Amino acid sequence: MSKVRAAVFASGTGSNFEAIMSDGDLPCEISLLVCDKPKAAVIEKAKAFGVETFVFDAKQYKQKADYEAEIVEALQKNNVEWIFLAGYMRLAGATILEAYEGKMINIHPSLLPAFPGIDAIGQAFNAGGAETGVTVHYIDEGMDTGPIIEQETVPILSNDTKETLQKRIQIVEHRLYPKVIRQILRDV
């Protein structure tokens, strides 16, 4: 039986993309990377893994629905059934949400609903609490909202800098995201 096909959406470095690709036990094939930043490092990573890319620049389109229609076309051409957001710094609009309802998940570096949006690690660090963490959740139209699938706590240590905290959060992300993907795809 052929594997379920999935796409990763990313905007930046792609360390989570790399962690997903490097999981030897993934019950799906990542057949497409969608990226909205033509210079993002994740694009080279996708090429190194032999993953097809769909790269776009939102500024070249009049509205979100226009580029999302092209994304959905690329996804359907690749028979993509699931979408994993891994540092995709854009809100999904109605065009994608309707086409992939219930089949989009996201990873976010905080214990949602705390610290949604950009620089979640900096937000948590500056808030001065004792812990933060990582959340994997289903996507809806909101910013880092949607039903939570799994969370893991990361302590904020007294001698942490934002950078050391970020490193420990990333270690958790890279383990948690492939694990949740395995669970979800085995449960459907």
Q: Using the rule CB under 6 A, which residue among 6, 8, 9, 16 binds ligand GAR? A: 16
> Cα–Cα distance between 1 and 21 in angstroms, integer?
20
Between residues 69 and 97, which has the closer beta carbon with respect to ligand GAR?
A: 97
Nearest approach, Cβ of 170 to ligand GAR (angstroms)? Answer: 6
> Cα–Cα distance between 40 and 99 in angstroms, integer?
26
Q: Using the rule CB under 6 A, which residue among 107, 124, 154, 184 binds ligand GAR? A: 107
Is residue 38 reached through a cis peptide bond, with omega within 30 degrees of 0 on the bond before it? no
Q: Is residue 108 annotated as a catalytic residue, yes or no?
A: yes
Site for ligand GAR in 160-179 (CB under 6 A): 173
Which entry of 37, 108, 137, 174 is annotated as an active-site residue? 108
Between residues 68 and 144, which has the closer beta carbon with respect to ligand GAR?
A: 144
26-65 footprint of ligand GAR as x/- string (CB under 6 A): ----------------------------------------
> Cα–Cα distance between 164 and 181 in angstroms, integer?
26
14 binds ligand GAR (CB under 6 A): yes
Nearest approach, Cβ of 30 to ligand GAR (angstroms)? Answer: 14
Nearest approach, Cβ of 6 to ligand GAR (angstroms)? Answer: 16
Nearest approach, Cβ of 80 to ligand GAR (angstroms)? Answer: 19
Binding site for ligand GAR (CB under 6 A): 10, 12-16, 86-87, 107-109, 120, 144, 173
Question: Among all residues, which ones are annotated catalytic?
Answer: 108
